[in-house]
Amino acid sequence: MSMHQPAFLRSAARCSMAFLAAAFVLLVSPAADATNIERTLSPGGIEIWLVRDVTVPLIAVDFAFRGGAAQDPADKLGVGSMVLDLLDEGAGDLDANAFHELMECKAIELRFHIGRDHIRGTLRTLKENQDEAFELLRLSLTAPQFEANAIERIRAQVMSELQHQTMTPSNIASRTWWDTAFPGHPYARQVNGTLETVPRITADDLRAYARRVFARDTLKVAVVGDIDAATAGRLIDSTFGSLPAKAELLPVPSATPQGLGRRIVFDLDVPQTSVTFGGSGIAPDDPDFMAAYIVNHIFGGGSLSSRLFREVREKRGLAYGISDRLVWLDQTAVMIGGTAVRADATGEAIDVIDDQVRKMAMDGPTAEELTKAKTYLKGSFELELDSSTKIASQLVTMQLDQLGIDYIEHRSALIDAVTLADTKRVAKRMLDGGLLYTVVGRSKDITSKRAER
């Protein structure tokens, strides 16, 4: 339910696009003053990336474990997601009620998020409550109760959400896309499970998942705010030190997206058609990554001036928003995007996108577009480093992507090194195979088609 939104969020404007875009700007630019990053080892041997800033009396912690929904057993899909939902529903000696009361009383914010390959978590606390905050995090990770009533409460919420998603056009489109692109692979899964598997999940399944995945060897941590290295080391040790040394992870097979060139249409009686589109991507460990990132930015990435935005929205008024992004996972990389278009113009919109794919694959960006994209990418990163919370998040992302602690300093040079020839070559490499489209709505002017090649 989204009924209690403050007036600011009710504003019916262009906001969603920019915020969506901002969430995926990953690449860094010249060193921000606030990011004097210190790498420190806790006495117990846990590596911490630390930025000390005493301006505001708060501490932001961000952390990640390898794992994610790809580690769910095939008959228990959604178990990892349910574990995270239950971590603050009672832990140690505190029942759910006491745990939540303490969080509220001390204004402690504890959030978890599951992706396909990773679990991410954030802790935010006022400095004066730091000990209680880290203690709650410790309890949630090392001693979750998985109490029977709490499990049923959360299960009912997950089932309700899954039911809702079966009727939500954008979710159907996206689910169908992943399912078609990665048939039978863990990446095809929805991270919150299915209506069939969630009812089967037991307390033992939840405990087993937590035991296998929460471990020190895959942990990445960043701490930002009003805290020194010694205190951070002590608190990080007390929080994570008693976790198992090693995670027990199932291997995830490598994969490439399938079904490129196909269009899959799903009939639903709604006034607007949801479209997910995507194709091959390029991962950060690939020498072509920066060129790919630039090409994607120009094609449909994060600004109000991409080719897709201009052609679909500004020139033709077919949609309110359209964008795409590069997504890299441990075992694959894709570019994936979405839009919602007027039902009677769905075919036209897809033709416009396809036309842009062909043009970009054939000719690549122009010199002017490349110059602008470079200055954009160099200038934009600092906007993601203007709060303790955002800095902590970026530092964990940099660790996950193995970019190195000095990445912020040499990132501009990496961007500048990309040539027009690189972008033309990489545009062809990414887009020449065409895209897979999944379309949900009353789209009379378009039908499913198999790949032409």
Residue 148 found at the interface with another protein (CB under 8 A): no
x/- letters, 262..291, toward another protein (CB under 8 A): ------xxxxx-x-----------------
Nearer to another protein, 91 or 326 (CB): 91
Residue 453 found at the interface with another protein (CB under 8 A): no
CA-wise closest residue to 207 among 251, 158, 157, 145? 145
Nearer to another protein, 305 or 419 (CB): 305
The span from the CA of 105 to the CA of 136, in Å, is: 13
Minimum distance, C-beta of residue 32 to another protein, in the bound complex (Å): 5
* Interacting residue with another protein among 32, 247, 275, 396 (CB under 8 A): 32
Q: Can you say how many angstroms the Cα of residue 99 is from the centroid of all Cα atoms in its chain? A: 28
The span from the CA of 306 to the CA of 310, in Å, is: 6
The H or E element that residue 421 is part of is: helix 420-431
The span from the CA of 254 to the CA of 267, in Å, is: 32
Nearer to another protein, 243 or 318 (CB): 318
Residues ≥6 apart with Cβ < 8 Å to 165: 171, 172, 175, 190
Token pair belonging to 231: 């205190």
Query: Which residues within the stretch 220-239 sit at the binding site for another protein (CB under 8 A)?
Result: 226, 238
Nearer to another protein, 296 or 388 (CB): 388
Q: Which stretch binds another protein (CB under 8 A): 50-58, 77-85, 204-212, 353-361?
A: 50-58
Query: Which residues within the stretch 404-433 sit at the binding site for another protein (CB under 8 A)?
Result: none
The span from the CA of 63 to the CA of 134, in Å, is: 12
* Interacting residue with another protein among 113, 200, 234, 342 (CB under 8 A): 342
* Interacting residue with another protein among 8, 245, 402, 413 (CB under 8 A): 8
x/- letters, 65..84, toward another protein (CB under 8 A): --------------------
Nearer to another protein, 95 or 354 (CB): 95
Token pair belonging to 424: 């033309």
Residue 52 found at the interface with another protein (CB under 8 A): no
Query: Which residues within the stretch 90-119 sit at the binding site for another protein (CB under 8 A)?
Result: 92-94, 96-98, 100-107, 109
- Whole-Å CA distances, 362 to 105, 359, 411, 430, 436: 59, 5, 28, 11, 18
Query: Which residues within the stretch 187-216 sit at the binding site for another protein (CB under 8 A)?
Result: none
Minimum distance, C-beta of residue 14 to another protein, in the bound complex (Å): 5
Minimum distance, C-beta of residue 388 to another protein, in the bound complex (Å): 5
Residue 366 found at the interface with another protein (CB under 8 A): no
Nearer to another protein, 34 or 229 (CB): 34
Size of the site for another protein (CB under 8 A): 105
Minimum distance, C-beta of residue 271 to another protein, in the bound complex (Å): 5
20-26 contacts: CB < 8 A, separation 24 or more?
20/302, 20/321, 20/323, 21/301, 21/302, 21/303, 21/323, 22/302, 22/383, 22/384, 24/301, 24/302, 24/325, 24/326, 25/302, 25/377, 25/380, 25/381, 25/383, 25/384, 26/397, 26/401
CA-wise closest residue to 107 among 123, 120, 121? 123
- Whole-Å CA distances, 130 to 54, 270, 275: 14, 49, 45
Minimum distance, C-beta of residue 428 to another protein, in the bound complex (Å): 25
Residue 142 found at the interface with another protein (CB under 8 A): no
Minimum distance, C-beta of residue 433 to another protein, in the bound complex (Å): 28
Query: Which residues within the stretch 286-305 sit at the binding site for another protein (CB under 8 A)?
Result: 303-305
Question: What are φ and ψ of residue 440, in 5° steps?
Answer: -125, 115
Helix ranges, 201-300 (H): 203-213, 229-240, 289-299
Q: Which stretch binds another protein (CB under 8 A): 38-46, 148-156, 197-205, 359-367?
A: 148-156
- The upper half-sphere exposure of residue 25, i.e. CA atoms within 13 Å in the direction of its Cβ, equals 23
